[in-house]
Amino acid sequence: MLEKDIQEILFTEEQLKKRVEEIARQIEADYAGREIMFIGILRGSFVFMADLCRAVDLPCTLDFMSVSSYGTGTTSSGQVQITKDLSEDITGRHVIVVEDILDSGNTLSYLLNILEHRHPASVRLCALLDKPDRRVKPVKLHYSGFSIPDAFVVGYGLDYAEKYRSLPYIGILKPEVYGG
């Protein structure tokens, strides 16, 4: 039913699962002997976060933050606002920020800056998708799932106007859906 709005499937469920496992092995190697605090950026990261934290065989805690930068359009406004802050203190913690997609970098450069000021032991960024061609602000990405071209994608947590998050795969949305 949602499928009719998808132009092309970029990553199938199987491909996503395999890549999540690979990232988990990298994280396990890098964080051996330490406890991780995963911070998921709502809402787009919720599916990736759920799969990633279950794939990583290390002690961890989870927290979530919500920021607004997009509204219902397909381009970032550059203005970022925290709409839900963390519940936990991150002082002295090894934080991995989990994001669905790194696009202009506006959201994450703002957010990472805020988190750094709270004195965590370390902060790294893990994004499932990366659109390097769209970058406006430089952001260091430690764990990247896939680099993708400049197209608007949905599924596996990613939305357009809050829809399509429940698709088990990632696909390019037909431009006519958002009037592109």
What residue 124 binds from Mg ion, ligand IMP, none (CB within 5 to 8 A, per partner kind)?
none
Contacting range for ligand IMP; rule: CB under 6 A; set: 6-14, 82-90, 94-102, 117-125: 94-102
Nearer to ligand IMP, 16 or 102 (CB): 102
- The angle at the Cα of 45, spanning 169 to 166, to the nearest 5 degrees, equals 40
Burial class of 57 by CB neighbour count within 10 A (0 to 12, 13 to 18, 19+) = exposed
What residue 105 binds from ligand IMP, Mg ion, none (CB within 5 to 8 A, per partner kind)?
ligand IMP
- Contact code string over 125-164 relative to ligand IMP, x by CB under 6 A: ---------------------------xxx---x------
Binding-site member from 40, 44, 155, 157 for Mg ion (CB under 5 A): 44
With binding defined as CB under 6 A, does residue 107 bind ligand IMP?
Answer: yes
CA 43 from chain center: how many Å?
Answer: 9
Q: Where are the alpha helices (DSSP H) in the chain?
A: 13-30, 46-55, 106-116
With binding defined as CB under 6 A, does residue 16 bind ligand IMP?
Answer: no
Nearer to Mg ion, 99 or 124 (CB): 99
What residue 130 binds from Mg ion, ligand IMP, none (CB within 5 to 8 A, per partner kind)?
none
Tell the residue number behind the tokens 């709409």, with chain if given: 83
Q: How far is CA 125 from CA 6, 26, 72, in A?
A: 29, 13, 25
Cα–Cα distance measured from residue 147 to residue 128, given in angstroms and rounded to the nearest whole number: 9
Kindly list the catalytic residues.
103
List the interface residues with ligand IMP, window 38-77 (CB under 6 A).
44, 69-70, 76
Q: Print burial letters for 75-97: b (CB count within 10 Å at least 16), e (below 16).
A: ebeeebeeeeeeeeebeebbbbb
With binding defined as CB under 6 A, does residue 99 bind ligand IMP?
Answer: yes
Which residues of the chain form contacts with ligand IMP (CB under 6 A)? 44, 69-70, 76, 99-108, 152-154, 158
